[in-house]
Structure 1
Amino acid sequence: MGQVTVFSGPERRRRWSDEERLRIVAEAFAPGARVADVCRRHDVSSGLIYTWRRKLRGAGAAQEAEAPEALPAPVFVEAVADEDAAHSVEPPAMIIDLPRGKRLSIYPAASPALVSAALKGLR
């Protein structure tokens, strides 16, 4: 008697409409969503979702105009400088020279727990 092998997982060569692709990609990259969960829910491989996202981002102005909120561009958050630290030029309380030219500086404002953790990490 012959043997039959059944492959589970996403079926090959399925056709997805542009609306379905856009909806799935928007769902996968929504805040708090996990791509793996969306993949399981829609029976799509994670690589395909990332491919769709890459193609949507590089497709041109026509597709970007359709879904500007679906695929927000990554942005940098503005760094806020500590005013007290910017004006004080306090030398480090301790400088530890490490192999390969590395150096660990410990400042007086560092908490004892932080200093302890840094020194334990050097062991």
Structure 2
Amino acid sequence: MSIGTVEIITGRERRRRWSVADKLRILAECEAPGVQVAEVAARHGVYRSLVFQWRRQARDGLLVAEPTPEFVPVRVADVDRRDEPLPEPEPTPPPSRKAAAIEIELPDGIRLRVGEEVGLVALRRVLAALRG
């Protein structure tokens, strides 16, 4: 009598926490010519509806890559500046008009005040971060 192997198929894992980088990598695989979303989703063990949800989030600006940290050159100078006077602060110009702003209060009590200079993509990213 021979002993065989048994493979247990449990289906897709539920409630896995995918990193933003993983989501974007899977979405990039889906963009290749001739690739079907269902095949990519099955290869990674996720439902294709979840991949479509990530695609919508990326299109709406809610799923974006984290900025890459960069090194900044720094030079340390050994200078004694105790005798130098401090520069005069530049006067702030008077406001020409009152800037338009909206205030958003989330259900948990967090208030967010946004000026008109904030773009839609940035606002969506902030709201997504506050929602958790």
Q: TM-score normalised to the size of structure 2? A: 0.39
Q: TM-score normalised to the size of structure 1? A: 0.42
Of Structure 1 and Structure 2, the greater helix share is in 1
